[in-house]
């Protein structure tokens, strides 16, 4: 059973309501507006309850002996009530909108800030579309709840309680007769409410799945087009959206039945009240025609409020589901990131790294050991290479050095100190990575380079681009550094994206550099330019090269050969190539044959 399905079984209970109301802390900066909105809502509801009373009194004045002045006075009071109600309604709507918009903006910001501070282990078990749905769809549900549902709920409660109180003053007999119909409505609400709740949650889940399809398709649009799978993706999306329709229509049937029951019960109650009221009037039980009219109007008000509670109950169910999803996300443990000043030198690294008996398994695959008692050391400024087949553990080592994950056993030391003695910001501000597949953001070239050191001047950006062999192609563009790179950098070639990433790393000026197969996907011409830029970048830095092409690591200080999570060979290129039976020699021979075929 998936996590969303588990959450969907939750009912409206005290705990759920407390979780929903806990979100009100986000409206504290606008609490005065909230209080004003609640007062406006209360006064508007109470003033509305005076309408049937005055209208009934006006009806009782419909006889020849009645004073025209009294009739005019009642009419003017009614007009004043409507005018006052209009003012309070305006204030209520506007003030609640102010509170809700600021509150939801704070909630979105908090959720986003929390989300990007979660460890990679969290994202490895979540889909991007699902997380995006939490910030968009779930918060949209809450927006409707805090803008409309809660206000209407309070209004209905005031109307029901106030109306029943006033009814009891008019006729206690008629009030008890009217209330006898309430249990029928309550039983119906209980039965249909439970069914509607399940369907509503299923619809939310299906919408989230549909959003995931869109997210994945757009992220992988190149693959979609490369394999001409447009029709396949269209059918997949159509199937998912059709399922949304089926679930929604199923819910609509249940709601229609529920509302039909409420409407039938309401009119049955009104007919019964009129019948019993006429009986009491004719019997001379102290009830006038005006009193009966007041009673009928209050009954309509109360009945409408009770019937309205059905839809509010459904909306509240959605809000509780959205609240659970958001709060569960916000309760996830984030990485401990202490923000330091960029110029802080409290723990400036020299660049030495040591792994001592490091063992690691990914949280999603705890039974599969990726690293098994790995140990090696790197001196400041040295260049080392990690080689081996796919899955040997090369990229995992770089992830552990970056502290994207924590090792299950052993230690990682920086300058002789356990990595846990550094806060993450101190470490990562002094590191940079150039991956095989560079992800650029959809802004300008300048913005993407400056991402390595936000706030950099255009002179610093140009200098970094020049050192990365990127200045020539950037200046060839009509808009230069203001050129938009497109989604994920799609407007640039692979070699151009790599050089932008290198410029970004140069601008960061890291002590520790990780190159994750940075040239393996490039053609020979692009590789030459990128390799030249990488050589510039690696000067005077501790560099870890995850190598695919062994020709790029001939001059490193030490090569570590990995297999099944263990180091099986280590040494320089010349030392390792001497062992004709070694793994490195075999990999080198395969690379040479591949180059010969390419030539």
Instruction: Return the CATH number at 388.
Output: 3.40.50.300
Q: pLDDT (tens digit, 9 = 90+) per residue, 407-441?
A: 888 899 998 888 888 878 878 888 888 877 777 87
CA distance 328 to 126: 13
165, 79: one domain:
yes
Which pair of tokens denotes residue 478? Answer: 């009509």
CA distance 102 to 97: 9
510 lies in a domain? no
Q: Considering its fold, how many domains does the chain have in total? A: 2
Kind and range of the H or E run holding 75: helix 68-115
Q: pLDDT (tens digit, 9 = 90+) per residue, 375-404?
A: 989 999 888 889 888 788 888 888 898 888
320, 356: one domain:
no
In the numeric block, the tokens 């706030």 are attached to 455
pTM, full prediction: 0.63
140, 97: one domain:
yes
319, 383: one domain:
no
313, 387: one domain:
no
462 lies in a domain? no
320, 379: one domain:
no
pLDDT of residue 359: 92
Checking if the pLDDT of 2 tops 50, the result is no
Of the candidate ranges 336-340, 464-468, 502-506, the one whose mean pLDDT is the lowest: 336-340
User: Confidence band (pLDDT; 50, 70, 90) for 337?
Assistant: low
Q: How far is CA 527 from the centre of its chain?
A: 39
Q: pLDDT (tens digit, 9 = 90+) per residue, 169-183?
A: 777 877 787 777 666
533 lies in a domain? no
At residue 445, what are phi and psi to the nearest 5 degrees? -60, -45
455 lies in a domain? no
Q: Taking a C-beta distance cutoff of 8 angstroms, is the pair 201, 11 a contact? A: no
29 lies in a domain? yes
Q: Taking a C-beta distance cutoff of 8 angstroms, is the pair 372, 407 a contact? A: no
- Pick from 330, 361, 376: which residue ends a domain? 330
pLDDT averaged over every residue in the chain: 77
Checking if the pLDDT of 571 tops 80, the result is yes
Checking if the pLDDT of 216 tops 80, the result is no
Q: Which of 306, 210, 197, 296 is nearest to 262 (CA)?
A: 306
Domain span holding position 211:
3-330
Kind and range of the H or E run holding 561: strand 558-563
419, 290: one domain:
no
238, 364: one domain:
no
223 lies in a domain? yes
CATH assignment of the domain containing 11? 1.20.1560.10
- Pick from 300, 330, 360: which residue ends a domain? 330
Q: pLDDT (tens digit, 9 = 90+) per residue, 280-310?
A: 777 776 677 777 777 777 777 777 777 677 6
């Amino acid at each position: 059973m998936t996590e969303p399905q588990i959450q969907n079984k939750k009912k409206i209970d005290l705990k759920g309501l407390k979780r929903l109301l806990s979100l009100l802390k986000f409206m504290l900066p606008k609490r005065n507006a909230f209080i004003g909105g609640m007062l406006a809502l209360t006064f508007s509801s109470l003033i509305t309850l005076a309408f049937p009373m005055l209208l009934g009194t006006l009806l009782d004045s419909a006889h020849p002996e009645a004073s025209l002045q009294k009739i005019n006075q009642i009419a003017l009071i009614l007009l004043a009530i409507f005018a006052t109600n209009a003012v309070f309604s305006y204030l209520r709507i506007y003030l609640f909108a102010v509170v809700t918009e600021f509150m939801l903006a704070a909630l979105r910001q908090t959720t986003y800030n929390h989300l990007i501070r979660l460890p990679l282990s969290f994202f490895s078990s979540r889909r991007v579309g699902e997380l995006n749905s939490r910030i968009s769809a779930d918060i949209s549900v809450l927006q409707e709840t805090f803008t409309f549902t809660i206000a209407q709920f309070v209004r209905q409660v005031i109307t029901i309680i106030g109306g029943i109180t006033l009814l009891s003053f008019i006729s206690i007999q008629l009030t008890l007769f009217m209330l006898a119909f309430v249990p029928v409505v309550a039983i119906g609400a209980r039965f249909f409410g439970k069914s509607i709740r399940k369907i509503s949650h299923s619809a939310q889940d299906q919408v989230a799945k549909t959003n995931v399809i869109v997210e994945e398709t757009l992220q992988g649009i190149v693959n979609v087009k490369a394999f001409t799978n447009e029709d396949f993706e269209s059918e997949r999306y159509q199937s998912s959206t059709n399922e949304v329709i089926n679930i929604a229509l199923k819910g609509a049937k249940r709601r229609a039945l529920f509302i039909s029951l409420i409407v039938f019960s309401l009119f049955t109650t009104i007919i019964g009240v009129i019948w019993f009221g006429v009986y009491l009037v004719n019997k001379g039980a102290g009830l006038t025609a005006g009193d009966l009219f007041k009673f009928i109007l209050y009954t309509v008000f109360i009945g409408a409020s009770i019937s309205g509670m059905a839809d509010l109950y459904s909306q509240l169910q959605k809000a509780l589901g959205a609240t659970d999803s958001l709060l569960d996300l916000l309760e996830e443990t984030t990485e401990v990131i202490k923000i330091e000043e960029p110029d802080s030198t409290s723990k400036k690294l020299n660049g030495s790294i040591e792994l001592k008996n490091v063992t690691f398994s990914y949280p999603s695959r705890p039974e599969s050991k990726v690293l098994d008692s790995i140990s090696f050391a790197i001196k400041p400024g040295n260049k080392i290479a990690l080689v081996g087949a796919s899955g040997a553990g090369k990229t995992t080592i770089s992830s552990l050095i970056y502290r994207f994950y924590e090792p299950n056993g052993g230690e990682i030391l920086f300058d002789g100190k356990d990595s846990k003695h550094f806060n993450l910001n101190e470490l990562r501000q002094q590191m940079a990575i150039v991956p095989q597949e560079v992800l650029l953001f959809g802004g300008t070239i300048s913005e993407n380079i400056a991402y390595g050191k936000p706030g950099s001047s255009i002179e610093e950006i140009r200098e970094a681009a020049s050192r990365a062999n990127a200045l020539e192609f950037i200046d060839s563009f009509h808009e230069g550094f203001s050129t938009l790179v497109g989604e994920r950098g799609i407007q640039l070639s692979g070699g151009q994206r790599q050089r932008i990433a290198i410029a970004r790393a140069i601008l960061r000026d890291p002590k520790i550099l990780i190159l994750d197969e940075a040239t393996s996907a490039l053609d020979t011409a692009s590789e030459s330019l990128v390799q030249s830029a990488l050589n510039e970048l690696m000067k005077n830095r501790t560099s870890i090269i995850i190598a695919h092409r062994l020709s790029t690591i001939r001059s490193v200080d030490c090569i570590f050969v990995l297999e099944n999570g263990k180091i099986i060979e280590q040494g320089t290129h010349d030392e390792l190539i001497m062992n004709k039976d070694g793994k490195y020699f075999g990999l080198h021979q395969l690379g040479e044959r591949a180059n010969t075929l390419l030539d």
